[in-house]
Structure 1
Amino acid sequence: MRKKKKTAIFIILIALMIFVINLKPIGRMMFPLKYYDYIVKYSKEYNLSPFLVASVIKVESNFEKDAVSVKNARGLMQLTPSTAKWASEQMKLEDFNVDMLHEPMLNIRMGCWYLNNLKEEFGSDMEIVLAAYNGGRGNVKKWLNNYENSKNGVDLHYIPFEETDKYVKKVQVNYNI
Protein backbone atom coordinates (compact mmCIF):
# COMPACT_ATOMS: atom_id res chain seq x y z
CA MET A 1 0.00 0.00 0.00
CA ARG A 2 2.79 2.44 0.84
CA LYS A 3 4.51 1.80 -2.48
CA LYS A 4 1.29 2.55 -4.40
CA LYS A 5 0.79 5.74 -2.41
CA LYS A 6 4.37 6.91 -3.06
CA THR A 7 4.03 6.11 -6.76
CA ALA A 8 0.75 8.04 -6.98
CA ILE A 9 2.26 11.05 -5.20
CA PHE A 10 5.30 10.90 -7.50
CA ILE A 11 3.10 10.81 -10.61
CA ILE A 12 1.01 13.72 -9.33
CA LEU A 13 4.15 15.76 -8.61
CA ILE A 14 5.55 15.08 -12.08
CA ALA A 15 2.21 16.04 -13.66
CA LEU A 16 2.10 19.25 -11.60
CA MET A 17 5.66 20.15 -12.63
CA ILE A 18 4.82 19.65 -16.31
CA PHE A 19 1.65 21.72 -15.89
CA VAL A 20 3.46 24.57 -14.10
CA ILE A 21 6.34 24.64 -16.61
CA ASN A 22 3.86 25.05 -19.46
CA LEU A 23 1.88 27.82 -17.76
CA LYS A 24 2.32 31.44 -18.70
CA PRO A 25 3.69 33.55 -15.86
CA ILE A 26 0.83 34.50 -13.56
CA GLY A 27 1.26 38.20 -14.33
CA ARG A 28 0.64 37.56 -18.03
CA MET A 29 -2.53 35.64 -17.24
CA MET A 30 -3.84 38.53 -15.14
CA PHE A 31 -2.62 41.32 -17.44
CA PRO A 32 -3.15 40.48 -21.10
CA LEU A 33 -0.43 41.84 -23.32
CA LYS A 34 -2.60 43.03 -26.20
CA TYR A 35 -2.28 46.68 -24.99
CA TYR A 36 1.30 46.31 -23.81
CA ASP A 37 2.76 48.73 -26.38
CA TYR A 38 0.27 51.49 -25.50
CA ILE A 39 0.73 50.94 -21.77
CA VAL A 40 4.51 51.17 -22.03
CA LYS A 41 4.47 54.11 -24.47
CA TYR A 42 2.10 56.33 -22.49
CA SER A 43 3.42 55.29 -19.09
CA LYS A 44 6.84 56.43 -20.22
CA GLU A 45 5.50 59.63 -21.79
CA TYR A 46 3.67 60.58 -18.59
CA ASN A 47 6.31 59.34 -16.15
CA LEU A 48 4.22 56.52 -14.67
CA SER A 49 4.96 52.92 -13.86
CA PRO A 50 3.56 50.65 -16.59
CA PHE A 51 2.64 48.22 -13.78
CA LEU A 52 0.52 50.95 -12.18
CA VAL A 53 -1.25 51.66 -15.47
CA ALA A 54 -1.87 47.94 -16.09
CA SER A 55 -3.20 47.63 -12.53
CA VAL A 56 -5.59 50.55 -13.02
CA ILE A 57 -6.83 49.00 -16.28
CA LYS A 58 -7.25 45.62 -14.59
CA VAL A 59 -9.35 47.10 -11.77
CA GLU A 60 -11.27 49.59 -13.91
CA SER A 61 -12.28 47.43 -16.88
CA ASN A 62 -10.52 44.07 -16.65
CA PHE A 63 -8.97 44.97 -20.04
CA GLU A 64 -12.38 45.25 -21.76
CA LYS A 65 -12.07 48.16 -24.21
CA ASP A 66 -15.84 48.54 -24.59
CA ALA A 67 -16.58 48.60 -20.85
CA VAL A 68 -19.15 51.17 -19.67
CA SER A 69 -19.83 51.69 -15.96
CA VAL A 70 -23.09 52.61 -14.26
CA LYS A 71 -21.65 56.14 -14.01
CA ASN A 72 -21.07 56.11 -17.79
CA ALA A 73 -17.28 55.86 -17.47
CA ARG A 74 -15.92 54.30 -20.63
CA GLY A 75 -13.11 52.22 -22.00
CA LEU A 76 -10.09 50.53 -20.51
CA MET A 77 -9.30 53.22 -17.94
CA GLN A 78 -12.95 54.12 -17.34
CA LEU A 79 -12.90 57.84 -17.99
CA THR A 80 -16.17 59.71 -17.55
CA PRO A 81 -17.32 61.83 -20.49
CA SER A 82 -16.91 65.08 -18.49
CA THR A 83 -13.38 64.22 -17.37
CA ALA A 84 -12.46 63.08 -20.88
CA LYS A 85 -13.82 66.28 -22.48
CA TRP A 86 -11.85 68.39 -20.00
CA ALA A 87 -8.72 66.29 -20.52
CA SER A 88 -9.05 66.49 -24.31
CA GLU A 89 -9.12 70.29 -24.06
CA GLN A 90 -6.09 70.33 -21.77
CA MET A 91 -4.28 67.91 -24.09
CA LYS A 92 -5.32 70.00 -27.13
CA LEU A 93 -6.92 67.04 -28.90
CA GLU A 94 -8.94 68.09 -31.89
CA ASP A 95 -12.31 66.60 -32.85
CA PHE A 96 -12.65 64.58 -29.65
CA ASN A 97 -15.93 62.83 -28.92
CA VAL A 98 -16.77 60.43 -26.10
CA ASP A 99 -17.18 57.43 -28.43
CA MET A 100 -13.43 57.65 -28.97
CA LEU A 101 -12.96 56.48 -25.36
CA HIS A 102 -13.42 52.92 -26.62
CA GLU A 103 -10.25 53.21 -28.71
CA PRO A 104 -7.53 51.58 -26.57
CA MET A 105 -4.72 53.87 -27.70
CA LEU A 106 -6.60 57.08 -26.94
CA ASN A 107 -8.12 55.78 -23.72
CA ILE A 108 -4.75 54.69 -22.33
CA ARG A 109 -3.15 57.94 -23.45
CA MET A 110 -5.85 60.04 -21.76
CA GLY A 111 -5.88 57.88 -18.65
CA CYS A 112 -2.10 58.20 -18.30
CA TRP A 113 -2.30 61.94 -18.89
CA TYR A 114 -4.96 62.22 -16.19
CA LEU A 115 -3.00 60.11 -13.69
CA ASN A 116 0.03 62.31 -14.33
CA ASN A 117 -2.09 65.44 -13.94
CA LEU A 118 -3.26 64.18 -10.54
CA LYS A 119 0.31 63.28 -9.64
CA GLU A 120 1.41 66.84 -10.46
CA GLU A 121 -1.29 68.20 -8.16
CA PHE A 122 -1.05 65.75 -5.25
CA GLY A 123 2.58 64.62 -5.42
CA SER A 124 4.02 61.16 -5.84
CA ASP A 125 1.95 59.40 -3.15
CA MET A 126 0.13 56.98 -5.45
CA GLU A 127 -2.50 56.18 -2.82
CA ILE A 128 -3.66 59.80 -2.96
CA VAL A 129 -3.42 59.89 -6.77
CA LEU A 130 -5.50 56.71 -7.04
CA ALA A 131 -8.03 58.04 -4.54
CA ALA A 132 -8.38 61.19 -6.67
CA TYR A 133 -8.64 59.12 -9.87
CA ASN A 134 -11.54 57.16 -8.38
CA GLY A 135 -13.16 59.52 -5.87
CA GLY A 136 -12.47 62.86 -7.51
CA ARG A 137 -9.82 65.49 -6.90
CA GLY A 138 -12.26 67.76 -5.09
CA ASN A 139 -13.09 65.05 -2.57
CA VAL A 140 -9.42 64.29 -1.97
CA LYS A 141 -8.75 67.99 -1.31
CA LYS A 142 -11.57 67.95 1.28
CA TRP A 143 -10.20 64.78 2.86
CA LEU A 144 -6.70 66.23 3.12
CA ASN A 145 -8.14 69.32 4.83
CA ASN A 146 -10.09 67.24 7.36
CA TYR A 147 -8.16 66.17 10.47
CA GLU A 148 -10.17 62.93 10.70
CA ASN A 149 -8.82 61.88 7.29
CA SER A 150 -5.40 63.53 7.30
CA LYS A 151 -3.44 64.34 10.43
CA ASN A 152 -1.04 66.65 8.59
CA GLY A 153 -2.90 67.82 5.47
CA VAL A 154 -0.42 65.95 3.26
CA ASP A 155 -0.90 62.24 3.92
CA LEU A 156 -4.26 60.52 3.62
CA HIS A 157 -4.77 58.38 6.73
CA TYR A 158 -8.40 57.50 6.10
CA ILE A 159 -10.50 57.39 2.92
CA PRO A 160 -14.12 58.02 3.90
CA PHE A 161 -15.60 56.63 0.67
CA GLU A 162 -15.72 52.84 1.02
CA GLU A 163 -15.75 52.37 -2.77
CA THR A 164 -12.63 54.53 -3.17
CA ASP A 165 -10.87 52.84 -0.26
CA LYS A 166 -11.51 49.41 -1.82
CA TYR A 167 -10.47 50.70 -5.24
CA VAL A 168 -7.10 51.95 -3.98
CA LYS A 169 -6.47 48.64 -2.21
CA LYS A 170 -7.40 46.61 -5.32
CA VAL A 171 -5.04 48.61 -7.53
CA GLN A 172 -2.25 48.23 -4.97
CA VAL A 173 -2.79 44.45 -4.79
CA ASN A 174 -2.72 44.17 -8.59
CA TYR A 175 0.39 46.36 -8.72
CA ASN A 176 2.16 44.08 -6.25
CA ILE A 177 1.23 41.01 -8.32
Structure 2
Amino acid sequence: MQGFRDRVQQNRRIQRRMATCFCVALFILIVSLSAFFVLQFEPVQRKYFYVYPYHDTVMKYAEIYHVDSNLTAAVIKSESKFKHTALSHRGAVGLMQLMPETAEWIAGQIGDKSYNVESLHEPDRNIRYGTWYLAELQREFKGNDVLALAAYNAGRGNVKAWMDENNWSYSFHDIDAIPYKETRDYVRQVIGDRKKYRELYPE
Protein backbone atom coordinates (compact mmCIF):
# COMPACT_ATOMS: atom_id res chain seq x y z
CA MET A 1 0.00 0.00 0.00
CA GLN A 2 2.80 2.39 0.94
CA GLY A 3 4.55 1.65 -2.34
CA PHE A 4 1.41 2.52 -4.26
CA ARG A 5 1.12 5.86 -2.44
CA ASP A 6 4.77 6.62 -3.15
CA ARG A 7 4.24 5.98 -6.85
CA VAL A 8 1.17 8.22 -6.88
CA GLN A 9 3.09 11.03 -5.18
CA GLN A 10 6.02 10.57 -7.55
CA ASN A 11 3.68 10.75 -10.55
CA ARG A 12 2.13 13.92 -9.17
CA ARG A 13 5.56 15.51 -8.73
CA ILE A 14 6.45 14.58 -12.30
CA GLN A 15 3.17 16.05 -13.55
CA ARG A 16 3.78 19.28 -11.62
CA ARG A 17 7.29 19.57 -13.06
CA MET A 18 5.96 18.94 -16.56
CA ALA A 19 3.24 21.53 -16.05
CA THR A 20 5.84 24.04 -14.81
CA CYS A 21 8.10 23.36 -17.79
CA PHE A 22 5.16 23.74 -20.15
CA CYS A 23 4.18 27.08 -18.60
CA VAL A 24 7.76 28.35 -18.81
CA ALA A 25 8.06 27.24 -22.44
CA LEU A 26 4.71 28.84 -23.27
CA PHE A 27 5.78 32.08 -21.58
CA ILE A 28 9.05 32.16 -23.53
CA LEU A 29 7.17 31.50 -26.76
CA ILE A 30 4.68 34.30 -26.09
CA VAL A 31 7.46 36.76 -25.20
CA SER A 32 9.47 35.79 -28.28
CA LEU A 33 6.50 36.15 -30.61
CA SER A 34 5.56 39.48 -29.04
CA ALA A 35 9.11 40.76 -29.48
CA PHE A 36 9.17 39.53 -33.08
CA PHE A 37 5.95 41.34 -33.99
CA VAL A 38 6.98 44.51 -32.16
CA LEU A 39 10.24 44.57 -34.11
CA GLN A 40 8.30 44.41 -37.37
CA PHE A 41 6.62 47.75 -36.69
CA GLU A 42 8.12 50.38 -38.94
CA PRO A 43 8.44 53.04 -36.21
CA VAL A 44 10.51 50.61 -34.12
CA GLN A 45 12.73 49.72 -37.08
CA ARG A 46 13.23 53.38 -37.98
CA LYS A 47 14.09 54.36 -34.41
CA TYR A 48 16.40 51.51 -33.46
CA PHE A 49 17.64 49.62 -36.51
CA TYR A 50 17.46 51.85 -39.58
CA VAL A 51 18.04 55.33 -38.29
CA TYR A 52 18.45 58.12 -40.82
CA PRO A 53 20.30 61.16 -39.49
CA TYR A 54 21.49 63.65 -42.11
CA HIS A 55 18.54 62.69 -44.30
CA ASP A 56 18.35 66.09 -46.00
CA THR A 57 22.08 66.12 -46.71
CA VAL A 58 21.95 62.62 -48.19
CA MET A 59 18.99 63.60 -50.36
CA LYS A 60 20.72 66.79 -51.54
CA TYR A 61 23.87 65.11 -52.80
CA ALA A 62 22.03 62.06 -54.10
CA GLU A 63 20.08 64.39 -56.37
CA ILE A 64 23.15 66.38 -57.42
CA TYR A 65 25.23 63.31 -58.28
CA HIS A 66 22.35 61.09 -59.46
CA VAL A 67 22.79 58.37 -56.85
CA ASP A 68 20.05 56.38 -55.13
CA SER A 69 19.70 58.08 -51.74
CA ASN A 70 18.82 54.73 -50.15
CA LEU A 71 22.11 53.33 -51.39
CA THR A 72 24.00 56.21 -49.79
CA ALA A 73 22.12 55.70 -46.51
CA ALA A 74 22.88 51.97 -46.58
CA VAL A 75 26.58 52.64 -47.19
CA ILE A 76 26.71 55.09 -44.27
CA LYS A 77 24.95 52.58 -42.01
CA SER A 78 27.44 49.85 -42.89
CA GLU A 79 30.49 52.10 -42.82
CA SER A 80 29.96 54.13 -39.65
CA LYS A 81 26.45 53.57 -38.28
CA PHE A 82 25.93 57.30 -38.89
CA LYS A 83 28.72 58.34 -36.49
CA HIS A 84 30.43 61.36 -38.02
CA THR A 85 33.43 60.95 -35.69
CA ALA A 86 34.12 57.39 -36.87
CA LEU A 87 37.78 56.57 -37.53
CA SER A 88 38.84 53.08 -38.59
CA HIS A 89 42.10 51.35 -37.70
CA ARG A 90 43.07 51.73 -41.36
CA GLY A 91 42.60 55.49 -41.19
CA ALA A 92 39.22 55.80 -42.95
CA VAL A 93 37.38 58.87 -41.71
CA GLY A 94 33.83 59.96 -41.04
CA LEU A 95 30.35 58.89 -42.02
CA MET A 96 31.29 57.24 -45.31
CA GLN A 97 34.73 56.11 -44.10
CA LEU A 98 36.83 57.82 -46.73
CA MET A 99 40.57 57.31 -46.84
CA PRO A 100 42.37 60.68 -46.73
CA GLU A 101 44.21 60.06 -50.01
CA THR A 102 40.94 59.15 -51.74
CA ALA A 103 39.26 62.23 -50.29
CA GLU A 104 42.14 64.43 -51.47
CA TRP A 105 41.73 63.04 -54.99
CA ILE A 106 37.96 63.63 -54.84
CA ALA A 107 38.54 67.21 -53.68
CA GLY A 108 40.69 67.77 -56.75
CA GLN A 109 38.08 66.24 -59.03
CA ILE A 110 35.27 68.44 -57.74
CA GLY A 111 37.43 71.55 -57.28
CA ASP A 112 37.11 71.83 -53.50
CA LYS A 113 40.21 73.80 -52.48
CA SER A 114 39.15 74.02 -48.82
CA TYR A 115 39.71 70.30 -48.17
CA ASN A 116 41.83 69.05 -45.30
CA VAL A 117 41.80 65.74 -43.44
CA GLU A 118 40.12 67.18 -40.35
CA SER A 119 37.24 68.45 -42.48
CA LEU A 120 36.28 64.86 -43.34
CA HIS A 121 34.55 64.68 -39.98
CA GLU A 122 32.11 67.33 -41.22
CA PRO A 123 28.92 65.46 -42.18
CA ASP A 124 28.14 67.64 -45.19
CA ARG A 125 31.59 67.32 -46.74
CA ASN A 126 31.92 63.60 -46.00
CA ILE A 127 28.52 62.80 -47.50
CA ARG A 128 29.26 65.00 -50.50
CA TYR A 129 32.58 63.29 -51.19
CA GLY A 130 31.26 59.79 -50.51
CA THR A 131 28.22 60.26 -52.72
CA TRP A 132 30.35 61.67 -55.53
CA TYR A 133 32.64 58.67 -55.20
CA LEU A 134 29.70 56.25 -55.36
CA ALA A 135 28.54 57.98 -58.53
CA GLU A 136 32.04 57.73 -59.98
CA LEU A 137 32.23 54.01 -59.21
CA GLN A 138 28.80 53.40 -60.70
CA ARG A 139 29.90 55.22 -63.84
CA GLU A 140 33.14 53.25 -64.00
CA PHE A 141 31.39 49.91 -63.55
CA LYS A 142 28.54 50.69 -65.95
CA GLY A 143 25.84 51.07 -63.32
CA ASN A 144 26.57 47.70 -61.71
CA ASP A 145 25.93 48.22 -57.98
CA VAL A 146 27.55 44.92 -56.95
CA LEU A 147 30.83 45.86 -58.62
CA ALA A 148 30.62 49.49 -57.48
CA LEU A 149 30.05 48.49 -53.85
CA ALA A 150 32.81 45.89 -54.03
CA ALA A 151 35.12 48.63 -55.30
CA TYR A 152 34.00 50.99 -52.52
CA ASN A 153 35.00 48.35 -49.98
CA ALA A 154 37.99 46.60 -51.54
CA GLY A 155 39.26 49.19 -53.99
CA ARG A 156 38.63 49.66 -57.68
CA GLY A 157 41.99 48.11 -58.56
CA ASN A 158 41.10 44.84 -56.87
CA VAL A 159 37.71 44.68 -58.57
CA LYS A 160 39.23 45.31 -61.99
CA ALA A 161 41.77 42.57 -61.32
CA TRP A 162 38.99 40.15 -60.33
CA MET A 163 37.11 41.01 -63.49
CA ASP A 164 40.17 40.27 -65.61
CA GLU A 165 41.15 37.10 -63.76
CA ASN A 166 37.65 35.62 -63.69
CA ASN A 167 36.33 37.00 -66.96
CA TRP A 168 33.52 38.90 -65.25
CA SER A 169 31.42 41.17 -67.41
CA TYR A 170 29.70 44.36 -66.33
CA SER A 171 26.53 42.31 -65.83
CA PHE A 172 28.20 40.40 -62.97
CA HIS A 173 25.93 39.88 -59.95
CA ASP A 174 27.26 36.72 -58.25
CA ILE A 175 28.16 38.11 -54.83
CA ASP A 176 29.33 34.67 -53.67
CA ALA A 177 32.08 34.75 -56.31
CA ILE A 178 33.77 37.81 -54.79
CA PRO A 179 37.12 36.56 -53.41
CA TYR A 180 37.20 38.59 -50.17
CA LYS A 181 34.77 37.46 -47.46
CA GLU A 182 34.70 40.95 -45.97
CA THR A 183 33.70 42.39 -49.32
CA ARG A 184 31.10 39.68 -49.96
CA ASP A 185 29.51 40.39 -46.59
CA TYR A 186 29.72 44.14 -47.15
CA VAL A 187 28.03 44.08 -50.55
CA ARG A 188 25.31 41.74 -49.32
CA GLN A 189 24.71 43.90 -46.24
CA VAL A 190 24.51 47.19 -48.14
CA ILE A 191 22.15 45.82 -50.78
CA GLY A 192 19.90 44.39 -48.06
CA ASP A 193 19.94 47.64 -46.10
CA ARG A 194 19.13 49.64 -49.22
CA LYS A 195 15.98 47.56 -49.62
CA LYS A 196 14.97 48.28 -46.02
CA TYR A 197 15.59 52.01 -46.40
CA ARG A 198 13.40 52.02 -49.50
CA GLU A 199 10.62 50.35 -47.54
CA LEU A 200 10.92 52.52 -44.43
CA TYR A 201 11.62 55.89 -46.07
CA PRO A 202 9.68 56.02 -49.34
CA GLU A 203 10.50 59.16 -51.29
- What is residue 78 of structure 2 aligned with on the other side? 59
Structure 1 residue 33, shift from structure 2 partner? 3.2
- What is residue 155 of structure 1 aligned with on the other side? 172
List runs of 5+ in structure 2 lacking aligned partners.
1-22, 197-203
> Closer, same or farther in 2 for the Cα pair 1:123/1:25, shift >3 Å?
farther
User: Is 1:35 paired with 2:21?
Assistant: no
Instruction: Report sequence identity in percent.
Output: 40
User: 1:61-103: CA deviations, max 9, x gaps?
Assistant: 0000000011100000000001000100111001210111100
TM-score (norm 1): 0.82
TM-score (norm 2): 0.72
> Closer, same or farther in 2 for the Cα pair 1:104/1:153, shift >3 Å?
closer
Aligned CA RMSD, in angstroms, stands at 2.5
- What is residue 175 of structure 1 aligned with on the other side? 194
Q: Which amino acid aligns with 1:75?
A: G
Normalized per residue, the structure richer in helix is: 2
Q: Which amino acid aligns with 1:126?
A: D
How many residue pairs align between the two structures? Answer: 163
Structure 1 residue 124, shift from structure 2 partner? 1.0
Structure 1 residue 23, shift from structure 2 partner? 6.9
> Closer, same or farther in 2 for the Cα pair 1:25/1:71, shift >3 Å?
same
Q: 8 Å contact 1:119–1:129 — kept in the other structure?
A: yes
Aligned residue among 124, 129, 132 for 2:148: 129
Aligned residue among 76, 93, 117 for 2:136: 117
Q: Which amino acid aligns with 2:92?
A: A
User: Is 1:97 paired with 2:97?
Assistant: no
> Which range is displaced more, 166-175 or 30-39?
30-39
- What is residue 10 of structure 2 aligned with on the other side? none
After superposing on structure 2, the runs of 4+ consecutive aligned residues of structure 1 that deviate more than 3 Å are none
Structure 1 residue 25, shift from structure 2 partner? 4.9
